[in-house]
Amino acid sequence: MCRADHRQGAAIRSDPAAPTDVVRFSDVRFAWPGSTRFGLEVDSFVLARGERLLLIGPSGSGKSTFLSLLAGIVAPDAGRVEVLGTDLGALRSHARDRFRSEHFGIIFQQFNLLPYASVPDNVVLPLSFSVARRARALANGSAEAEARRLLGKLGLDAGAIDGARAASLSVGQQQRVAAARALIGSPELIVADEPTSSLDRNHQLAFLDLLFADLAAAGTTLIMVSHDETLANRFSRVARLEDFARVIGPDALVRVARGGAAA
């Protein structure tokens, strides 16, 4: 089901050579190693540039596996996962890591901040691994100044920033630091895994307002995973994982390995 036009008010990057589709899955098959052999099949999935997609799926539906494929943490056993026109499966592991650092901003469910580092140091951390993101961040001044600008736009007051370590912040404050870390350097794609699950309703909506404003300014594409369907009207598109992906067990995986069709 499609919501309001995702391009309305958004400053989409205007590079004519940039692919229209930020993400494209084609005939993807993947199974985790080990005795359980949990696997996922995705025949086709496309995420257009500038979209804000809410991905919904219950526990055990394969959301984490799907995000791992999308971000190049793992490579598919068959098929293609293309991000910004690059086939991630054709890259070696270290090259996928470098690609992810350059083009992805990730907001983890548990935020994954460095607890004893300062707030600005947490935000600028991705710039240590990405030449392009660092150059874009420095275009607005120093890296720390850009970190403070983002934190301010995300509603984190100066008193919480100055001299504070991440471990001393509230859950809502940590969430904003994690979002600023993902946004710094204007990566093309933001992946957010249940980023609002620990917030009450008012704080959820306020956070999304702030996040979407920054995404629109940078022309960044968003895919957010959530179990909360009440957030749907805030997104340009809503998809259920089971609509385009199938969980496959050991028997099906054996058939795939032999070249047969999975159930």
pLDDT of residue 123: 95
Cα(111)–Cα(121) distance, integer angstroms: 15
Per-residue tokens: 187: 């990566």
Burial grade of 243 (CB within 10 A; 0-12, 13-18, 19 or more): exposed
Q: How far apart are CA 182 and CA 192, in angstroms?
A: 9
Integer-rounded Cα Rg, in Å, for the chain is 19
The distance between the two most distant Cα atoms of the chain, rounded to a whole number of Å, is: 61
* Predicted local distance difference test score (pLDDT) of residue 79: 97
**How many Å apart are CA 27 and CA 41, to the nearest integer?**
7
Q: Mean of the per-residue pLDDT values for the chain? A: 85
Residue 28, strand partner residues: 42
Query: 169, 226 in Cβ contact below 8 A?
Result: no
What is the pLDDT, as a whole number, of residue 8?
Answer: 31
Global confidence as pTM: 0.83
List all residues 6 or more positions away from 158 whose beta carbon is below 8 Å from its beta carbon. Answer: 148, 152
For the segment 112-129, what is each residue's pLDDT rounded down to a tens digit? 999 999 999 999 999 999
CA–CA distance, 12 with 253 (Å, rounded to integer): 40
pLDDT at 251: 52
Residue 226 DSSP code: E
| CA distance to 43, 158, 203, per residue, from 53 (Å) | 18, 31, 20
- Write down the residue that tokens 């609509």 correspond to: 243
Q: What pLDDT is stored for residue 36 in this prediction?
A: 67
Q: How many CB atoms lie within 10 A of CB 181?
A: 27
166 SS3 class:
helix
Q: How far apart are the first and last CA of the chain?
A: 26
Give residue 206's pLDDT: 82
Q: Which domains does the chain carry?
A: 21-257 (3.40.50.300)
Which pLDDT belongs to residue 188? 95
Nearest Cα to Cα of residue 178 among 150, 146, 219, 199: 150
DSSP 38-57: -EEEEEEEEEETT-EEEEE-
Low-confidence ranges of the chain (pLDDT < 50): 1-16, 252-263
pLDDT of residue 11: 32
What is the structure's pLDDT at 214? Answer: 84
Nearest to 239 by CA among 261, 218, 223: 223
Q: For residues 236 and 225, give the distance between their C-alpha atoms in angstroms, rounded to a whole number.
A: 14
pLDDT at position 19 is 59
Candidates 235, 211, 220, 226; CA nearest to 189 is: 220
